[in-house]
Amino acid sequence: MSTTERIYSCLVTRSPEAEARLPEQVRRDVPANGLRLVGANTLQSSGDQIVNASTVLPWLFAALGVPPALTGLLKPIRESLSMLPQAFLTPLVLRTRRRKRVFALGALVQAGSVAAMAATAALGTGLAAGVLILAALAVFSLGRCLCSISSKDVQGRVVPPGERGQITGLATTASGLVAITLGLGIRGLGGGSLDAGALAGLLTVGAALWVAVAGVSLTLREPAEDPEEGGKEAVDDGGDDGPLARRSWALLREDRDFRHFVTVRSLLLVSSLSPPFIVMLALDAGTDALAGLGGFVIASGVASLVGGRLFGRFADRSSRLLMAVTAAIASAVIVVVVVLAALPAFRGGSGAGGVLLVSAYFLLTLAHTGVRVGRKTYLMDMASGDTRTVYTAVSNTAMGVILLVVGAVSAALAAASATWALLLLAALGAAGVVAGLRLPEVSRG
């Protein structure tokens, strides 16, 4: 047994039956490819912590004197533009035999975009700097589109069922360690008072991370075709006349299992959209425990560190159950916080109140880690070949639209009170638990 195989076998509980179904060459490359995937995904997740539209970029806008109205566009641009175009980019991806090249291209686009943000942070100020950074973020999100479409296909080609969730979980754990280190460093450098120059340097590091992502992904030994047997029948792109785009949307009408998955994923936005409203409750209550940039990054890192390994193994046993359980946790945490915050004796600025709100933020972030690992693993296991690619693109494009709608409704409710927005998200999460338990089982662990 080689050193690479020994390391992989120590980190991952392997599935001999699933590996035995792979062609000999693909089976031999599983350990090396698995470790490379962990490395590439770790680098990408670490870069995401640096170019975070909820924490780092708002701090940068404040340091540059960007008008507050532009700050509100950061999260919608980052999330929606990384999802909405995916169904339209799918024909390009399907015509590329080696999907790792698409992944590397997306990483390089992100690297160039972050480098542009760093240059703007170092040289610009005010409205002009804000507009340039938003434009770079839009390009960044399009690069993420390419990575999102291709990454699950690459992982599905080189790692067998029963091990995919663990790969995602290991990368999440490793990125959590990086995030904790980053958060501690930010707090040591000044926390929420970092100047634009320091943040420009941080973004430069982020650009270098995405260059490394591209380099590592190109070393993957990817077969030209998906070796997995079974799964859904592949979708033909139909050539240059674009019938795939029409067929993609028809999937939501014709494929019951896929439509069910997209519905469940939509209801699980509870863990994604609720943490900022917990922060609003904390700040409105007079506590600043979550106000520092380093504190946000550390909390996210600890959640990834704790959840990555645990949820990766859980996902390989039953990814649908993982989604349901973590959504239930998120909804329960929200209800508890809302009820306690409504008590006359509750004081958010007290020590106990601060601990409650910080703990709620951490638990919601932890639950979101489980939801993400679960839905990624479920999508990889429910289909194979080009169908997996199409499923990824169509579900993400649909989620881009749904995210805008749910985000707008919850933001409107939050204008009156963050509590109403949280209750809406908790209700959606509860519905997601019921719908998630009715998903067909696709895990083989």
What are the boundaries of each domain within the chain? Answer: 29-226+242-437
Residue 328's pLDDT band (cuts 50, 70, 90): very high
Residue 119's pLDDT band (cuts 50, 70, 90): very high
Structure-derived torsion over alpha carbons of residues 96, 101, 105, 108, reported in degrees to the nearest 10: 180
Tens-place pLDDT, residues 211-250:
999 999 999 888 866 665 444 444 444 444 445 556 666 7
Q: How many residues does the chain have?
A: 445
Residue 311's pLDDT band (cuts 50, 70, 90): confident
The span from the CA of 445 to the CA of 432, in Å, is 23
Report, as an integer, the average pLDDT of 370-374. Answer: 89
The span from the CA of 371 to the CA of 369, in Å, is 6
The span from the CA of 250 to the CA of 262, in Å, is 13
Report, as an integer, the average pLDDT of 157-184. Answer: 81
Whether the CB-CB separation of 222 and 98 falls below 8 Å is answered with yes
Whether the CB-CB separation of 19 and 27 falls below 8 Å is answered with yes
The span from the CA of 406 to the CA of 404, in Å, is 6
Residue 145's pLDDT band (cuts 50, 70, 90): confident
Residue 296's pLDDT band (cuts 50, 70, 90): low
The span from the CA of 50 to the CA of 372, in Å, is 19
> Cα 182–188–193 angle (5° rounding)?
95
Tens-place pLDDT, residues 58-89:
778 878 888 866 776 777 788 778 877 777 77
Tokens of 203: 């973004």
Count Cβ neighbours within 10 Å for each residue of 207-241 and write b for 16 or more, e otherwise: bebbbbbbebbbebebeeebbbeebbebbebeeee
Which residue is associated with the tokens 């009156």? Answer: 416
Q: Residue 257: enclosing H or E segment and its boundaries?
A: helix 256-267
Instruction: Convert 366-405 into a string of H (helix), E (strand) and C (coil).
Output: HHHHHHHHHHHHHHHHHCCHHHHHHHHHHHHHHHHHHHHH
Tens-place pLDDT, residues 176-225:
888 788 777 776 665 545 678 888 888 999 999 999 999 999 998 888 66
Whether the CB-CB separation of 140 and 51 falls below 8 Å is answered with yes
Average pLDDT, the chain: 81
pLDDT at 291 over 60: no
| Fold classification of 29-226+242-437 (topology level) | Growth Hormone; Chain: A; (1.20.1250)
The span from the CA of 109 to the CA of 113, in Å, is 6
DSSP assignment letter at 229: -
Taking CA atoms, 199 is separated from 42, 186, 353, in Å, by: 21, 10, 31
Please give the pLDDT value at position 210: 93
